[in-house]
Amino acid sequence: MSEPRFDIPRAVVGGETADVYFRRTQQVLGAEGLNPVVDMEIFAREDGILCGVNEVCQLLKAANFDGELWAVPEGGPFEAKQTAMRIIGRYCSFGLYETAILGMLASGSAWASAARRCVEAAGGIPVISFGARHVHPKVADVMDYAAIVGGCATGSTPAGSGLHGLAASGTMPHALILIMGNTVKAARAFDRHIEDSVTRIVLIDTFRDEVEESLSVAEALGERLWGVRVDTPGERGGVTPDLIVELRRKLDLAGHRHVRIFVSSGLDPDRIRHFRQHGAPIDGFGVGSYISGAKPIDFTGDLREIDGRPIAKRGRLPGKQENPRLQRFL
């Protein structure tokens, strides 16, 4: 696929979202006639999966940066205090963007790392990012993009999934079924009006018992039904391994072995492992707030060289901190 194209707002390129002291630094250096070539190295205080490299590259291109950017590849692991990104160039050509660069890496890497933990817990069963409803819409696409970098099969938003050239996943919400007044009626209407390229996955916990609704929908749609989604709320005990085992068995006995079972509702790595350890036959997981609510990873940017001279603040090592995994992106 081609390189994803992020929306870099004018306010970011103009420095309006930067910490104000970086704007004042540009003003002071300009007045003093200082603009040295510097080496800035960026590292985190914990391990994780790096995400945000492509977005940082596009920001610097939009700002006409003329220098070098080296980084761990998008989706690659990094270790605490290990150099994850290096930027070399005239300070005034990128210093204003330190806030944005650190923020892109902090949020993107947090979402990607959380997604990776879910994917590893799922052990090969696909995980879909369902977290867009938990974040501001200005960052929903980047959140889904990062979740996919972390290993999710796709996301729920066309904008985020599209950054990877993927189709978004999701068929019907409870609202459609409630308005239609009947799950089978909603499923048939969906099947009539939505293009065939969209998989028929029907939500089956709205009005009746999950097994009963699944069997009714399977009878109604037959081979056109790709799967059912179980999203039982906590008020009804949530989704349990026993429920999934029962659902699978009764679908099979009724001749609907082709119908897959997709589970959502408050999932995290521990719950995913719980389902697998108890032998629940699940074909896919939808994870929302665990990914979208991941705490940003604390990244720091330090100058390590100024005009080729090793330097550092107290407590840090001066000079380049080499990492053989860095690749050049700009």
| Cα–Cα distance for residue pair 45/104, rounded to 1 Å | 16
Q: What is the mean pLDDT of residues 209-229?
A: 96
Q: pLDDT, tens digit, for every residue of 96-109?
A: 999 999 999 999 99
Closest CA to 156 of 132, 181, 175, 136: 132
Specify the DSSP element, H or E, that contains 262. Answer: strand 260-263
Average pLDDT over residues 229-233: 90
Sequence ranges of the domains in the chain: 10-110+295-328, 111-292
Span 13-32, pLDDT tens digits: 999 999 999 999 999 999 99
CA distance 155 to 74: 17
Strand order in the sheet with 154-155: 154-155, 127-129, 284-287, 260-263, 227-230, 201-203
DSSP result, 149-208? HTT-SEES-HHHHHTTT--------HHHHHHHTSHHHHHHHHHHHS-TTS--EEE--SSS
Average pLDDT over residues 158-165: 96
Report CA-CA distances (Å) from 289 to 13, 64, 275, 280, 293: 30, 36, 18, 22, 5
Asked whether the predicted pLDDT for residue 1 surpasses 70, the reply is: no
Report pLDDT for 2: 61
At residue 178, does pLDDT exceed 60?
yes
Q: Classify 328 as helix, strand or coil.
A: strand
Q: Which of 173, 176, 230, 171 is nearest to 201 (CA)?
A: 171
More confident residue, 3 or 275: 275
Neighbours of 298 (CB within 10 A): 13
pLDDT at 10: 94
Please give the model's pTM, rounded to 2 decimal places: 0.94
The span from the CA of 82 to the CA of 23, in Å, is 28
Superfamily grouping for domain 10-110+295-328: Quinolinate phosphoribosyl transferase, N-terminal domain (3.90.1170.20)
| From the candidate CATH numbers 3.40.50.20, 3.20.20.70, 3.30.1280.10, 3.30.420.10, the one assigned to the domain spanning 111-292 | 3.20.20.70
Compute the mean pLDDT over every residue in the chain, rounded to the nearest whole number.
95
Residue 29 near residue 35, CB atoms below 8 Å: yes
Residue 51 has pLDDT above 80, yes or no: yes
Two domains, one topology: 10-110+295-328 and 111-292: no
Calculate mean pLDDT across residues 245-253: 97
